[in-house]
Structure 1
Amino acid sequence: MGLEWEQLVIDAADPVALGRWWCEALGWTVLNDSREEYEIRPEPDRLPGLLFGPAAEGKTGKNNVHLDFRPDDRDAEVERLLALGARYTDVGQRGDEPWVVLADPEGNEFCVLGNRSRG
């Protein structure tokens, strides 16, 4: 099958500002810095990437799709992302999960996972 995942498209009130935020949060590279298609990737020739485009309307509820990240140190990464402008958010989690739910500056939820259990 000849299907390759190119990117995840994220609608944004300010695609450039949100794209820059994610670029800094992830340490990725900007491929296109236009207001219509602000695109970042881990490396110029590495997929998948994130593409930020203008939204016709603002975010109104919980995302149906979100990103999960597994850092080396969950708590340190959460603190770094909060310092960049992320915020804690509640999507109905119980409170004892090994992940932390955050939202980017436009309210898009994502998870910072804990250590992978080995066993």
Structure 2
Amino acid sequence: MALRWEQLIVDAVDPVALGRWWAEALGWVVVAADADEYEIRPAPDRFPGLLFGRVAEKKTPLKNRLHLDFRPDDRDAEVARLLTLGARHADVGQSGEEAWVVLADPEGNEFCVLGSRQG
């Protein structure tokens, strides 16, 4: 028996807006779009994807229990690009000495942009 990861579900007050933001941030394609569910993937036939589903309540101010990490070729350039798209810096208690930068998407979901891998 094989278990495959198909998608990560993200609660969103505005699934369309948040899904479009992540599609642009990641360079992914939209595979399903309506007012209550918006799904993006790396390519139409590639998994895993992100599915943004409508919820009534906004994200609570507590730290996410699950977040995404991204490792770009150039951390600082990618952070600048994501900030231009509407991300913002997030404080989750980091000391400031980390090799990563914590950002939040337009609905406040934290994610990390990692530095280059050593070795």
The interval holding the TM-score normalised by the smaller chain is over 0.9
Q: How does 1:90-105 map to 2 (within 5 A)?
A: 90-105=91-106
The AA in structure 2 aligned to 1:64 is: R
The answer to whether residue 82 in structure 2 is matched with residue 81 in structure 1 is yes
Corresponding residue SS for 2:117: coil
The answer to whether residue 2 in structure 2 is matched with residue 2 in structure 1 is yes
Given the two structures, how large is their TM-score scaled by the length of structure 1?
A: 0.97
Separation in 1 of the partners of 2:55 and 2:97? 34
Q: How does 1:1-119 map to 2 (within 5 A)?
A: 1-60=1-60, 61-118=62-119
Runs (4+) off by over 6 Å: none
Q: Which runs of 5+ in 1 are unaligned?
A: none
Separation in 2 of the partners of 1:55 and 1:98? 33
Corresponding residue SS for 2:44: coil
- Computed over aligned residues only, the root mean square deviation of the Cα atoms, in angstroms, reads 0.7
Separation in 2 of the partners of 1:13 and 1:49? 19
Residue correspondences, number:
118
CA-to-partner distance for each residue in 1:52-93, whole Å, 9 max, x for gaps? 001132111211000000000000000000000000000011
Separation in 1 of the partners of 2:25 and 2:114? 15
Separation in 2 of the partners of 1:54 and 1:37? 6
The AA in structure 1 aligned to 2:5 is: W
Corresponding residue SS for 1:92: coil
Q: Which runs of 5+ in 2 are unaligned?
A: none
The AA in structure 1 aligned to 2:73 is: D
Separation in 1 of the partners of 2:36 and 2:52? 8
